[in-house]
C-alpha cells in the first residue's frame, strides 16, 4: 500500500446517471441490521447492469433505450469533463 494521500474528486452538478433505480437493499428495505456489504454489493450490481425500464430519470432512460452507445459516449464525456480529480 502506498503512502500517497487519497484522491479527491471535485463535486459537480453535471451528472448523467444511468437509467436505473434498482438498489434493492436501499431505501425501501432499510433496517438497522442491514450490513454495508449488502448495500455495496447492491450498488455494484446496479452499476454493472443498469435497467432502463426502472429509471430515476425518464429522459436519460429514453435516450438510453433509443441509442445506448450514444448514451454511454455522453456518460464517458461527462465523466471526463466533470469528474476529474482535483
Interval 38-77: pLDDT, tens: 888 888 887 788 788 888 788 888 999 999 999 989 988 9
Cα distance from N-terminal residue to C-terminal residue, the chain: 21
Phi, psi values for residue 44, rounded to 5°: -60, -45
Question: Domain extents for the chain?
Answer: 13-86
Residues across the chain: 86
SS3 (DSSP) at 54 = coil
- What mean pLDDT value characterizes the chain? 75
Q: Identify the DSSP state of 3.
A: -
Predicted TM-score (pTM) of this structure: 0.50
Cβ atoms of residues 44 and 32 within 8 Å: no
What is the separation of C-alpha 31 from the centre of its chain, rounded to a whole number of angstroms? 22
Q: Give me the CATH code for the 13-86 domain, please.
A: 3.10.110.10
Amino acid at each position: 500500500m502506498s503512502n500517497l494521500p487519497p484522491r479527491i474528486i471535485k463535486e459537480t452538478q453535471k451528472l448523467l446517471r444511468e437509467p436505473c433505480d434498482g438498489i434493492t437493499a436501499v431505501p425501501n428495505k432499510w433496517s438497522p441490521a442491514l450490513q454495508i456489504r449488502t448495500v455495496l454489493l447492491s450498488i455494484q450490481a446496479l452499476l454493472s447492469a443498469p435497467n432502463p425500464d426502472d429509471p430515476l430519470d425518464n429522459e436519460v432512460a429514453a435516450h438510453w433505450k433509443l441509442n445506448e452507445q450514444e448514451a454511454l459516449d455522453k456518460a464517458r464525456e461527462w465523466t471526463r469533463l466533470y469528474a476529474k480529480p482535483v
